[in-house]
């Protein structure tokens, strides 16, 4: 066998190997990139658990070692209750906004949050009930308390 014949056999083998490698690369590219993925069909009825939004009927708005203030949705409307643990101080029910008052407050958006300059407390007002303390540790952003008040008011009218 001559040297030129050997070179020809190597060239042909090299071309065959290059063609096989190119074909294999094209097949891998087709599988990975170009073929439309096959998806399993979705079941007829997908089971999606219903997420029930529970709006609390009672929300703590102010808390210190000696006092706690709660807003509560009751059959009468929205009530404010104060638990004052200092001797001789008034605790219990402070005021009630009737359902009609709450409807009016919601329609005019007559509730405001005033964070003020104090480190631990701000004040809020709902209708005629002005300047009630709230704890910034419970509501670090005024909008959080504003949303909570709106939810409570809407729950009264629901």
The whole-number pLDDT of residue 158 equals: 85
What pTM does this model have?
0.63
Task: Report the 10 Å Cβ neighbour count for 91.
Answer: 13
Q: Where do runs of H (alpha helix) occur along the chain?
A: 3-29, 99-108, 142-157
CB 114 within 8 A of CB 127: no
Query: How confident is residue 35, by pLDDT bands cut at 50, 70 and 90?
Result: low
Residues 6+ apart with CB under 8 A from 122: 113, 114, 115, 116, 133, 134, 136, 139, 142, 145
- Domains of the chain by residue range: 58-157
* pLDDT tens, residue by residue, 36-88: 555 455 455 555 555 555 556 899 999 999 999 999 999 999 999 999 998 98
Query: How confident is residue 89, by pLDDT bands cut at 50, 70 and 90?
Result: confident
Q: Where do runs of H (alpha helix) occur along 30-121?
A: 99-108
CB 59 within 8 A of CB 69: no
């Amino acid at each position: 066998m001559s040297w030129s014949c050997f070179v020809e056999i190597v060239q042909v083998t090299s071309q065959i190997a290059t063609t096989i490698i190119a074909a294999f690369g094209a097949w891998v590219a087709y599988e990975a990139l170009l073929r439309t993925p096959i998806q399993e069909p979705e079941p007829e009825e997908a089971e999606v658990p219903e997420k029930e939004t529970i709006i609390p009927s009672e929300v703590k708005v102010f808390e210190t070692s000696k006092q706690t203030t709660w807003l509560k949705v009751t059959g009468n409307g929205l009530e404010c209750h104060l638990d004052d643990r200092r001797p001789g101080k008034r605790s219990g029910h402070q005021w009630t906004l009737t359902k009609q008052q709450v409807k009016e407050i919601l329609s005019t958006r007559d509730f405001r949050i005033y964070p003020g300059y104090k480190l631990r407390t701000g004040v809020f007002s709902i209708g005629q009930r002005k300047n009630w303390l709230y704890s910034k540790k419970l509501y670090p952003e005024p909008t959080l308390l504003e949303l909570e008040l709106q939810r409570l008011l809407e729950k009264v009218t629901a």
